[in-house]
Amino acid sequence: MKKKNTIYLKEQQLIITELSGDLDMEDVEQWSQSLKDVLSSLEPNTRFKILVDLHGFKAQNFEVHKKFRVVVPLTLAAYGWYIGYLRMFPETEICISSTNNIHCIAAAHVHQDETKIRNYAENYSMINEGYFTDPVAAREWIEAIPLV
């Protein structure tokens, strides 16, 4: 079953974006747009947390994977967030900015690849950024991060 949606839980100031299934380019573009639509609906000066749930995602081909892999880093960079795993790629140039003074203050990333996630968790986790293979554990962790 395909999932390619994003929701905003206003009371928790939590964005949940999900991408899973065997997906093509159109699916990734729809998911990317759902994330951008939610972010553009936020009021100025909002602080938010995000759960990026990619558990079960499989790109149909390498072009789809290339499109997918830049969505979250580039989109969140426009909201003051630098994703920790980008430190693996020192050649990466990304401009961190603040759209309408809206800021991401915490992120939880979920993926089914245990080896990758273990590496990310060991090398790139911070007090406000975590990597998980279990979507429920990721949700509990991100919800526990205070919005201060």
Residue 60 has pLDDT above 90, yes or no: yes
Q: Read off the pLDDT of residues 136-147 as tens digits, 9 standing for 90 and up.
A: 999 999 999 998
Counting the structural domains of the chain, the total is 1
Beta bridge partners of 25: none
The more confidently predicted of residues 95 and 130 is 130
Q: Which of 106, 101, 100 is nearest to 81 (CA)?
A: 106
Residue 90 has pLDDT above 80, yes or no: no
Q: What is the DSSP secondary structure assignment for residue 21, as one 8-state letter?
A: E
The model carries a pTM of 0.93
Beta bridge partners of 5: 18
Q: Mean pLDDT across the stretch 28-45?
A: 97
Who contacts 9 (Cβ-Cβ below 8 Å, separation ≥6)? 15, 16
Give residue 32's pLDDT.
Answer: 97
Give residue 84's pLDDT.
Answer: 87
Question: Domain span at residue 27?
Answer: 3-144
- Tell me the Ramachandran region of residue 103: left when phi exceeds 0, alpha when psi lies from -120 to 50, beta otherwise: beta
For 35-55, the DSSP string reads: HHHHHHHSPTT-EEEEEEE-T
Asked whether 22 and 58 are in contact (CB, 8 A), the reply is yes
